[in-house]
Structure 1
Amino acid sequence: MTRTPNRQLASLMGEARWGNDQLARAVNRTGRDAGLELTYDHSSVSHWLRGVRPRPAVRPVINEAFARRLGRPVTSQEAGFGPTPKTAGSRLTTGPADGNRLEGLVDLVRDDMDPSRRTMLAAGLYSAAMLVPGYTELGHRLDGAQQEVRAGRTVRIGESEVETVRAMTERIAAILDELGGGHARPMSAAFLANTVMPWLSADGSPSTKKSMLAAASDLVYLTGWMAMYERAHGLGQQYFGEALSLAQDGQDHVTYCRTLRGMSLQAANLGYGPRALEYADAAAECAPAAGPRLTAFLRGQQAHGAALVHDQRLAFSRLNETEIALGKADGRNDAVGGYDWAAYHFHVSSVLYALGDLPGSIRAMIQSNRVRPANERQGRLHANGVLASRQWELGHIEAAAGTWGEFLDDYTALSTSRGDEHFDVLRRSLTSQPGNRQVRRLGERVREVARQKAAA
């Protein structure tokens, strides 16, 4: 059978300045993010260049490998592979939903509330080249959206339904902190699918429709946040994209900014410094009239983004702006996307660590824990995991062992993938200090916790 050489793929490789081996390694690395154990080598790429198409499940992985290298979206058509079948496990988000405004979100939440589909969703790829238009560019679609969802509907919603969504969002945020995302996110997906989606497709006054869109965007943002912290980064990104679309339709600048800020944090966690700064700056630009607490919330993330691209002057300037703004904020702090002094010192720690000041980052994280509200179990768990890892990295083994003990106090009560990630770090760390008596005692507790988790 005669095959046509894939000149489009060759062109992309030239743009990326990759040879066969480099592309194969990049695809294998990207595949691991989607739970795929790929073992491609230079000969595999040679086959692709001669016109052999990789299997459909792998094409999005190849596209994403190029996107991460080039900093822009790459499609299967552009790579010379033809269209890729759309599946929940391989679906990549490239921006807010197009076409039917609610169709993508309906599919997403129905899949997420189905245990048989959730694993496939969690394996979806994070797109490092997701394009996010500015708020004003998304533009004034509310009237058309209302006309679309009202057609043929008999259900009518009012402000009580809007308040129900807002109240459930606060309750789910509280459950997230108390029990972990493993319990809270399925509840959120089910409530979205069974209650919120029908209300979004119901009749109502223009002001009620706008309020419902805004309330739904906040809950979708929270669901994406939970997916991100459960290390389902592709899924979290899809939720964030849907939250942006709902927020702009509901003319909700605050949730739009929060979502972009969450996307910046996600990019930072995954090591995409320039993208983290880009999202953080976009969030700040969308909130020109923000109050002091939201300003601090956004400037702190800008500081971290600047540190990740090694712009020390800008990072410290943004931290100063964060501190000034937070000092002007009132005593209120909402459940979703709030910002307080514990969060500020966490950002200081993140900035110092990114800039290479390990001792300073440890001191800032200790201060963050000192001012953290006692009921913030989820935040305390993560902060202690980060702090203990850095104490261990600095060689302060006994201090790290004490912090790991505090981490375990919370970990045994939470269902959280982020906690599992820290726990894995702890177990690996123990093997490097087998002779330390305090470490041996910690190891005994770790083994007991592992048995409890396995039996649960």
Structure 2
Amino acid sequence: MRTPEPNASLERLYRETGWTLRQFAQEINRIGTERGTPLRYREPSVHQWLKGHLPKEEARPVILEALSRRLHRPVTNSEAGFPLPEESSAQPSTVEGLLDLGRLDIDPSRRSVLNAALFSVALTIPGWPDVVGRMEAAQANVIGRIGLPEVNMVIAMTERVSDLDDQFGGRYARPMAAAFLVNAVAPYLRSEASESVRKSMMSAASDLCYLTGYMAVDEGLHGLAQQYYVKALQLAGASEDHLTYCTTLRGMSVQAVDLGHGRESKRLADAAAAASPAAGPRMRAFLAGQQAHAAAQTGNRRDALMYLQEAEAAMEKAESRSKTFGSYNPSSLTYHIGQVRYELGDIHGSIAALEESDKLRHQSFRRNRIRYLSMLAERQLEIGHLEAACDTWGKVVEIYPQVQSGQCDLKISSMYSRIRPYLKSRSASELYERARLVTPTRLIA
């Protein structure tokens, strides 16, 4: 058997990282665990790859992602000396890609494929000039002519699904949204329509794709979420819908910052702000608050405080103009204040801000209330306030049975591991016993 030629391309990238063989293997294993498919590579495997042995096909995306994260730029198969995946030879149209994605999402037998989809900092984000007005004029399988009633129906359905997600979490709402995308929205996008109706339908579809991606994040399906988000960007650009385009980029920034990718989060938050022309005060607060959080996570104190001040000033203007409830409100801003303070090392200030945020938050947002109260309890425990933490977690336990959410499951599971060392305390033991009555056994680690 012929000895393979050393992979000079991979060797060059490896040298650029500054890693040891062990560190390279550890990072690959860590990313594999992150996506739900644990890997157990060690130094000899990496050494073999550098010598020219081809990694298993399922390992290659993980290797590329590890390199991309380390080098802070996309790394392709070609750059790493790997062959191109067979399916990369033809790119599906936006509608065909949406159909394929939605069908995967609603097929239980293919769910494992989605679970393995990997969050990528190397994801290509289509810029506004690249997508504006460029939707393919796909007219295959035309189902007839559509008008504003069909557009309004998609908008109304998206609003209903969003309400269900806010109240109960996305575990059951996301497959419903995916089925609606496949069975109704995609056919509408292929139907005959006036130009104005066609743009309105693409805008409505973009909003639904964004929501579906947001719910995928809730279940920890981060690679899937990115795919939905990219579809949302493409459709928003095609319909010249700046609002959904910017909102989607911001959502991608939130996903990245929650996963600890501060640099990527800042890039996405800045892109959202740059693509938002003449944003009103509430939208500016919405974008600046996220820029502040991302900047703080990268350790940029000056920019974080500057953006936070900008968000506070914009929110004051928004609230003075209208007291109507908005998607970004004083509770959201106070949450961002808490996150910025925590990232900058002010745990006590973060706790005060999260407490204020909970007072301002609408009680119907159960999923977010569980997440943010859990965050508050974790930080109370971090400074040694066990009684206060248990009291806060008690509120979480009260709401938890009403929500079906992957993120909330993780928070509950984390609660058990955090309070277990304190079970000799009455407050901790009582919380533990109360929680056991409403928690699936698999979460009681």
- The TM-score by the shorter chain falls in which range? over 0.9
Partner SS, residue 412 of structure 1: helix
Alignment deviations for residues 271-294 of structure 1 (CA, whole Å, 9 cap, x no partner): 111111111111011112111111
Residues 56 and 85 of structure 1 are in contact (CA less than 8 Å); yes or no, is this contact kept in structure 2?
no
Deviates most, 425-434 or 99-108: 99-108
Corresponding letter in the other structure for 1:125: L
Q: Note the 1:2-151 alignment, pairs <5 A.
A: 2=2, 3-86=4-87, 99-142=92-135, 145=136, 148-150=137-139
The partner residue of 1:331 within 301, 323, 337 is: 323
1:378 CA drift (Å): 1.7
Q: Note the 1:144-159 alignment, pairs <5 A.
A: 145=136, 148-150=137-139, 153-159=142-148
Percent identity, please. Answer: 44
Aligned CA RMSD, in angstroms, stands at 1.9
TM-score w.r.t. the length of structure 2 is: 0.95
Question: Which residue in the other structure is 2:332 paired with?
Answer: 343
Cα pair distance change 1:183/1:151, threshold 3 Å: closer
Corresponding letter in the other structure for 2:429: R
Alignment deviations for residues 394-441 of structure 1 (CA, whole Å, 9 cap, x no partner): 111111101101111111111100101101110101212122111110
Cα pair distance change 1:98/1:18, threshold 3 Å: same
Corresponding letter in the other structure for 2:251: G
The partner residue of 2:177 within 174, 188, 193 is: 188
What stretches of structure 1 of length at least 5 have no aligned partner?
Answer: 88-96
Cα pair distance change 1:115/1:341, threshold 3 Å: same
1:450 CA drift (Å): 2.4
Cα pair distance change 1:86/1:19, threshold 3 Å: farther
Question: Which residue in the other structure is 1:309 paired with?
Answer: 298
Question: Which residue in the other structure is 2:264 paired with?
Answer: 275
Question: Which residue in the other structure is 1:321 paired with?
Answer: 310
Corresponding letter in the other structure for 2:125: V
What is the alpha-carbon distance in structure 2 between the residues aligned to residue 133 and residue 152 of structure 1?
27
Cα pair distance change 1:309/1:170, threshold 3 Å: same
Cα pair distance change 1:13/1:168, threshold 3 Å: same
Alignment deviations for residues 38-85 of structure 1 (CA, whole Å, 9 cap, x no partner): 111111112112221111111111111111111222222322221235
Residues 33 and 123 of structure 1 are in contact (CA less than 8 Å); yes or no, is this contact kept in structure 2?
no
Deviates most, 205-214 or 6-15: 6-15
Corresponding letter in the other structure for 2:292: A
Partner SS, residue 439 of structure 2: helix
1:182 CA drift (Å): 0.6
Question: Which residue in the other structure is 1:92 paired with?
Answer: none
Question: Which residue in the other structure is 1:215 paired with?
Answer: 204
What is the alpha-carbon distance in structure 1 between the residues aligned to residue 156 and residue 324 of structure 2?
17
What is the alpha-carbon distance in structure 1 between the residues aligned to residue 250 and residue 429 of structure 2?
41
Alignment deviations for residues 207-260 of structure 1 (CA, whole Å, 9 cap, x no partner): 000000001000100110111121111111111111100100010000000000
1:140 CA drift (Å): 3.3
Partner SS, residue 229 of structure 2: helix
What is the alpha-carbon distance in structure 2 between the residues aligned to residue 198 and residue 133 of structure 1?
24
Work out the number of aligned pairs and report it: 439
Cα pair distance change 1:19/1:453, threshold 3 Å: closer
Residues 72 and 130 of structure 1 are in contact (CA less than 8 Å); yes or no, is this contact kept in structure 2?
no
1:153 CA drift (Å): 2.4
Partner SS, residue 181 of structure 1: coil
Residues 126 and 233 of structure 2 are in contact (CA less than 8 Å); yes or no, is this contact kept in structure 1?
no
The partner residue of 1:352 within 334, 338, 341 is: 341
Question: Which residue in the other structure is 1:163 paired with?
Answer: 152
Question: Which residue in the other structure is 1:93 paired with?
Answer: none
Corresponding letter in the other structure for 1:113: I
